Chains A and B, each alone.
Chain A
Amino acid sequence: MSEAPATSSIYDLGYRRYDGVRLGRRHAVAALYTHSLRTAFGLGRPATAKIVPIGLAVLTLLPALIALGVAAIASDVEIYSANGYYGYVEVILALFVAAMAPELVGRDQRQRTLTLYFSRSLLRVDYAVGKVAALTSAMLLLTLVPQALLFLGRAFAWNDFWGYTQDNWQDIPAIVGSGLLLSLTMSSLAIALACYTKRRAFATGGIIAYFVISTGVSAIVANTASGIVRKLSLLPSGFHLLRGFTLWMFDVTPTLDAQGNSNGPAGDLVVAGLDFYWYAVAAGVAIAGALYIIYRRYQTVAA
């Protein structure tokens, strides 16, 4: 807009153009990422918004703390192995993504702030990437911090810190790898479901319903059916998928109970009899599919 003539100063509302440095698209994505990561833990929001995410984050630490308490008293007792840890906290992790994914992507649709985002240098695809990256990072904190605590705590409880580390260092790539794949799988699936609705309750319910129902159905089919149906039965199940590729990365084969029956999700995987690396492949396919769905949604969503 051109400079207003001096005669019309009565209309001069003092509007000023921004003439600082324009930081551009990369900075916009980084800002969105940081803001979303903070939102995932309720930071910068009222105390009531912090209860659920912080509470769930503390709950994921609880088994590690219990294990350390036990290790302090009797250093040779190992109640959780690193590869079984997600088995204890998977429900908490699912609740976390179910509670926070709608918070990250639903709020902008509900309060029409998407328009504001898309009118800046941020592209639609950038928005999707920023949100998925933020939730994945939040999940990484929830998975890797307890694992690090467990590993370090056990190493300190052992008489010889370096001895323990040397004996167990090969677990570290598996811990990081499974944490990464698990975080990315759960986050992308959760956002793919959540970005299709404004209503928080529907998104939360949908995500939890997917994890719980698919796991319940798959476990029953794996222990009931036979042949090819049994073999493939656990692939659609969220929790079994996570457990399957975790076991593959740690190169562990779970044991069945004395009667040769399944004794939980790990046992179901043995009963189904599919090689564990297929679960990693399936997770890759699920992530790709979810990311594509999110991409499509943000290309067409009304801003």
Chain B
Amino acid sequence: MPIFWLTFRQLIGAKRTMLLASAALLPVLLALVFRSGGDQEPAHWTAQTLLAQFVVGTMLPLAALVFGTAALGSEIDDGTAVYLLSKPIPRAAILLPKLAAAVLLTAGFVLVATIVSGAIAAWGSTDGAAVLVGFSVAVVTGAVVYCALFMLLSVMTTRAFIAGLIYVFIWEGVVTRLFTGTRIFSVRQYTLGVADGVASVGNDVFKSDLSAASAVLMMVLVGVGATLLAIRRLRRFEIGETA
């Protein structure tokens, strides 16, 4: 538990948190623009454009990348990881609280942005509430998987941030659009699959490319797999090792 709060304070005290907090206002701004002049069906716009495209497609991976790679990675960069790793604490008990702190902050930011902006944009439409619930559950599960993945990157390489960016914007952004079969390896698609499964709204409102069952299965596999690998890598982490 002390490690959890330590990481929590490290992450929330930094300048980047303020920047992310202001980025969380952007979806709200978009929702206000939509209310003032958009002519599309509110629930459809909220699900497809605001939440799927912007919140899940951009904000969630960026927030997870910032917190997921910083939770352990910035300690390794600064050299303070030595003080944690040289103590007789199981490495799993170091990694898991750090992961939990990263997930909590990522999910917190994105969830607030989802609920506030979604409520503004979809106010008064019949499917609005279902969409909102679906995406709220989805962004939390998505945050867990993304953070686990980025934490694994941060114990594998000191350039975790750029590696994560390449994964998010080249792989999830470009490759999965060109080669649709690779969707099964995209956390964004898992998140959208969960959103569709929980919301269970008509296909004219929102339809994910991946079925909810395979999305959940892959989420569990990738999330647990990445966490276990990260723990394994941290167990073998040599103190003083920087690369």
Chain B binding site: helix, strand, loop or mixed by DSSP? helix
In the complex, which residues of chain B have a beta carbon less than 8 angstroms from the beta carbon of A221?
30, 33
Does residue A216 face the partner (Cβ distance < 8 Å to B)?
yes
> How would residues 150 to 182 of chain B score, 1 for a CB under 8 Å from any chain A CB and 0 otherwise?
000000000101100110011001100000000
| Chain A residues, CB < 8 A from B94 | none
A91-B174, A216-B58, A224-B45 as given contacts; A205 in contact with B66, CB under 8 Å: yes
The contact of B26 among A92, A217, A225, by CB within 8 Å, is A217
Known contacts: A95-B162, A205-B161. The answer to whether A224 contacts B66 by CB under 8 A is no
Residue of A nearest to B165 (CB): A208
CB-contact partner of B53 in A200, A208, A220, A229, under 8 A? A220
The interface size of chain B toward A, counting residues with CB under 8 Å, comes to 34
Q: At the interface, yes or no: A99 with Cβ under 8 Å from chain B?
A: yes
| CB contact between A212 and one of B33, B62, B161, B162 (< 8 Å): that residue | B62
Contact B162 A52 (CB under 8 A): yes
Residues of B within 8 Å of A217, CB to CB, are: 26, 29-30, 54
Does A213 count as interface, using CB distance less than 8 angstroms?
Answer: yes
Shortest beta-carbon distance, A39 to chain B, in Å?
16
The answer to whether A224 touches B49 (Cβ under 8 A) is yes
A214 nearest CB neighbor, chain B only: B26
Q: Which residues does chain B contribute within 8 Å of A52, judged by CB atoms?
A: 159, 162
Report yes or no: A225 in contact with B165, Cβ–Cβ below 8 A.
no
Q: Which residues of A contact B170 (CB under 8 A)?
A: 59, 91-92, 95
> Do residues B30 and A205 form an inter-chain contact, with CB atoms below 8 A?
no
CB within 8 A of B37: which of A98, A204, A225? A225
Chain B residues with CB under 8 Å of A202's CB are: 16
B-contact bits for A204-248, CB 8 A (1 contact / 0 none)? 110011001100110011011111010000000000000000000
User: Which residues on B sit within 8 Å (CB–CB) of A95?
Assistant: 162, 165-166, 169-170
Task: Write out the residue numbers on chain A whose beta carbons fall within 8 Å of the beta carbon of B45.
Answer: 224
Q: Give the residues in chain A near B57, CB-CB below 8 Å.
A: 216
Check B69 against A225 for contact (C-beta < 8 Å).
no
Interface 0/1 of B5-18, CB less than 8 Å to A: 00000000000100
Does A201 lie at the interface of the complex (its beta carbon under 8 Å from any beta carbon of B)? yes
Residue contact B50 to A220, C-beta cutoff 8 Å: yes
Residues of chain B with a CB closer than 8 A to A204's CB:
161-162, 165
Residues of B within 8 A of A213 (CB): 23, 26, 58, 62
Q: How far is the CA of A65 from the CA of B50 in the complex (A)?
A: 36
B34 touches A (CB below 8 Å) = yes
Select from chain A the residue with minimum beta-carbon distance to B74: A201
A 94-120 to B, binary, CB cutoff 8 A, 1 in contact else 0? 010011000000000000000000000
Q: Closest CB of chain A to B28's CB: distance in Å? A: 12
B65: interface (CB < 8 Å): yes
Question: Across the interface, which residues of B come within 8 angstroms of A227, CB to CB?
Answer: 37
Q: Which residues of A contact B161 (CB under 8 A)?
A: 200-201, 204-205
**Could you mark each residue 48-88 of chain B with 1 if its beta carbon is under 8 Å from any beta carbon of chain A, else 0?**
01100110011000100110011000000100000000000
> How many angstroms from the CA of A223 to the CA of B38 in the assembled complex?
8
Q: Which listed residue (B38, B49, B173) contacts A225, Cβ 8 A?
A: B38
Question: Would you give the shortest CB distance from A248 to chain B, in whole angstroms?
Answer: 25
Report Cα–Cα, A205/B14, bound state, in Å. Answer: 14
Residues of B within 8 A of A209 (CB): 23, 62
Confirm or deny: B203 has a beta carbon within 8 angstroms of a beta carbon on chain A: no
Q: Which residue of B lies closest to A51 (CB)?
A: B159
Chain A residues, CB < 8 A from B126: none
B50, B70, B170 — most chain A CB neighbours (10 Å): B170
Complex-state Cα separation, A67 to B174, whole angstroms: 17
What residues of B have a CB within 8 angstroms of the CB of A220 in the complex?
Answer: 30, 33, 49-50, 53-54
B33 in contact with A225 (CB, 8 Å): yes
Q: A216-B54, A216-B58, A221-B30 are in contact. Are A229 and B23 (CB under 8 A)?
A: no
* Minimum C-beta distance from A89 to chain B (A): 10
A294 vs chain B, min Cβ distance (A): 21
Output the nearest chain B residue to A206 by Cβ-Cβ distance: B19
Q: Is the CB of A216 within 8 A of B53?
A: yes
Inside 8 A of A99's CB, which chain B residues have their CB? 162
Closest Cβ of chain A to B206, distance in Å, is 16
Name the distance in Å between B40's Cβ and chain A's nearest Cβ: 8
User: For B23, B37, B40, B243, which residue has the most chain A Cβ atoms within 10 angstroms?
Assistant: B37
In Å, the complex CA distance between A202 and B49 comes to 28
Instruction: Pull 20 A–B residue pairs with CB atoms less than 8 Å apart, ordered by A.
Output: A48-B243, A91-B170, A91-B174, A98-B162, A201-B69, A201-B161, A204-B161, A204-B162, A205-B161, A212-B58, A213-B23, A213-B26, A216-B53, A217-B54, A220-B50, A220-B54, A224-B34, A224-B37, A224-B49, A225-B33
Further contacts, 5 of them, CB under 8 A, given A95-B166, A95-B170: A205-B161, A212-B62, A213-B62, A220-B30, A224-B49
